[in-house]
A and B are shown apart, each in its own frame.
Chain A
């Protein structure tokens, strides 16, 4: 994890020239007349000889390996159509579920409206996605509720090394999963769910504030009356 972190943060705007030598244009960049430019608003990162621009805003851009939360929008005899908040719906084929599903029997396993915890296994250049639920930890989500935040805010909700999210769980006793696509599943008693949502709103509004983790912790302490000694 440490090696993936870059040291300086430089905000780039579309069309900005990236003055970096000996690197190849990566994600969020383009090359013209031998020069590399930023293709979108974001932060410059250099990794494995590629210079990338990590988006700071906008829609969820699906990439292979992401864990996301999807909702089923349509059923076919051999696959389900799932909305994962991406520009396009994804297809969940019967081969990618942990059950043996006979042709035409899809609706007895997953129904329209069900929420699923999925992994994106492939994205092709046509933006067509393959998703899978056949893996340890992936499943149909039952109970609880799902809220949506901007996908660019996901790292803040999780916090440094997962600090924010584990704190939320510790104080509220809720089960929480944050999908890379900006959907958050929360399950637990109503009081706890309410607190988690309040805290997430707080994080969203004050995303850039210094000492945010402490502010959220104080809020949770006050609301729950719980104390934890680290």
Chain B
């Protein structure tokens, strides 16, 4: 959290991009965009562009990584070389390894992993264009992709960050606010059970500021959850019109 007195992040009670303190950037999600994956989602969140794909449940390789009583949720967060202004050196690094781990753990909270012992559910998150908040965007998109893949889960995780700029608590930090702000708190929220599955903090907040930030994030996550549900409804509701369930096991030949 670098603070730079030369940069004004708030002007006339509005943020640099004209947003209010508790306003999200524009979010749109498309579900089922990849034919080859079992489930997928494409998310645009402000200037972020993120693709998530799910494969599985399938047999876990390497075998020693299998869990005998449950499935492993294995997320991989990756930034494209062209996703940031300076070229990102391809391949896993300290930061992407961390995000992969925390997304895996957040999703494992909602997936009924006990239904698929010894298997793995692979989640690939590809950041095509990054502009602050990609871990939240990645987690949000991955949840939709999991639902699209028909994976049993107790709810979809919605994720959003809040933080502090120029002493004000604000929602969903943009790129400059992230770089020059004073704190950044990404949150993963499970609306149905009112639980958190991701919480980090970069920078410092007082207890009051923290509580305010959490309240903002959780309210925003509820809105994001509706966007996630909307994406899935749009993808599937039309398919239900003329569908018919016939069992092929009766022997159709």
- Please determine whether A14 and B152 come into contact, CB atoms closer than 8 angstroms: yes
| CB-based contact A66/B249 at 8 Å | yes
Q: Is the CB of B182 closer than 8 A to any CB of chain A?
A: no
Assess the A180–B249 pair: CB atoms within 8 A.
yes
Looking at chain A's contact residues, the main secondary structure is loop
Which of B14-22, B111-119, B169-177, B197-205 is found at the contact surface with chain A?
B111-119
Given A66-B249, A178-B252, A87-B116 contact (CB < 8 Å): yes
A55 to B116, Cβ gap below 8 A? no
Most buried by A among B149, B237, B246: B246
Interchain CB contact under 8 A, A57 and B32: yes
Check B253–A37 contact: CB distance below 8 A: no
Within 8 A of A (CB), among B214-233: 229, 232-233
Contact A15 B153 (CB under 8 A): yes
Chain B minimum-CB-distance residue to A39 = B152
Contact check: which of B32, B57, B155, B246 meets A87 at CB < 8 Å?
B57
Please, which residues of chain B bring their CB within 8 A of the CB of A32? Answer: 154, 193
Residues of B near A57 (CB, < 8 A) are 32, 38-39, 148-150, 236
Q: Is B191 in the interface zone, CB < 8 Å from A?
A: yes
Q: Which residue of B lies closest to A27 (CB)?
A: B152
Which of B32, B112, B248 is in CB contact (< 8 Å) with A158? B248
B58 within 8 Å of A by Cβ?
yes
Q: How far is the CA of A87 from the CA of B112 in the complex (A)?
A: 15
The chain B residue sitting closest to A17, CB to CB, is B192
* A127 lies within 8 A of chain B by Cβ: yes
A155: chain B residues at CB < 8 Å are: 243-246, 248
For the complex, what is the distance from the CA of A77 to the CA of B244, rounded to whole Å? 43
Q: Does B147 contact A (CB under 8 A)?
A: yes
Instruction: Using CB atoms, name the residue of chain B closest to A185.
Output: B253
Instruction: Give which listed residue, B119, B236, B241, contacts A41 with CB less than 8 A.
Output: B236
Complex-state Cα separation, A127 to B8, whole angstroms: 58
List the A side residues contacting B243 at CB < 8 Å: 9, 155-156, 207-208
Interface check B238, CB cutoff 8 A: yes
User: What A residues does B251 contact at CB under 8 A?
Assistant: 67, 137
- Give Cα distance in the complex from A15 to B195, angstroms: 13
Bound-state Cα–Cα, A152 to B236, Å: 12
Contact with B along A1-29 (1 / 0, CB 8 A): 10011000101011100000000000010
CB-contacts of A20-75 with B (<8 A): 28, 30, 32, 37, 39-43, 54-59, 65-67
**B-chain residues with CB within 8 Å of residue A158 when the two chains form the complex:** 246, 248, 252
In the complex, are the beta carbons of A180 and B248 less than 8 A apart?
yes
A30 to B114, CA, bound (A): 13
CA of A209 to CA of B242, assembled, Å: 7
Which of A94-102, A106-114, A160-168, A222-230 is the contact stretch? A160-168
B156 with A127: CB separation less than 8 A: no
Q: Provide the residues of chain B in CB contact with A56, threshold 8 Å.
A: 150, 236, 239-240
Report B63-108 residues with CB < 8 Å from chain A CB: none
Query: How far, in angstroms, from A158 to B248 measured CA to CA in the complex?
Result: 7
Closest Cβ of chain A: how far from B242's Cβ, in Å? Answer: 5
Q: Within 8 Å of chain B (Cβ to Cβ): is A173?
A: no
Contact assessment for B147 and A14 in the assembled complex, using a CB-CB cutoff below 8 Å: yes
B59 within 8 A of A: yes
In contact, B38 and A58 (Cβ under 8 angstroms)? yes
Q: Does A159 contact B (CB under 8 A)?
A: yes
Assembly CA distance A57 to B147 (angstroms): 9
B253 pairs with A30, CB closer than 8 A: no
A208–B150 CB distance below 8 A: no
A residues near B110, Cβ cutoff 8 Å:
14
Q: Would you list 26 pairs from A and B whose C-beta atoms are within 8 A, ordered by A residue?
A: A9-B243, A13-B229, A13-B232, A14-B110, A14-B147, A14-B152, A28-B152, A32-B193, A39-B112, A41-B150, A41-B232, A42-B150, A57-B236, A58-B38, A58-B148, A58-B149, A59-B38, A59-B57, A67-B251, A87-B56, A87-B57, A87-B116, A158-B246, A208-B238, A208-B242, A212-B242
A interface with B by C-beta (< 8 Å):
1, 4-5, 9, 11, 13-15, 28, 30, 32, 37, 39-43, 54-59, 65-67, 87-89, 126-127, 137, 152, 154-156, 158-162, 165, 175-180, 207-210, 212
6 residue pairs, one from A and one from B, having the closest CB atoms: A58-B150, A15-B155, A39-B152, A87-B57, A15-B192, A57-B150
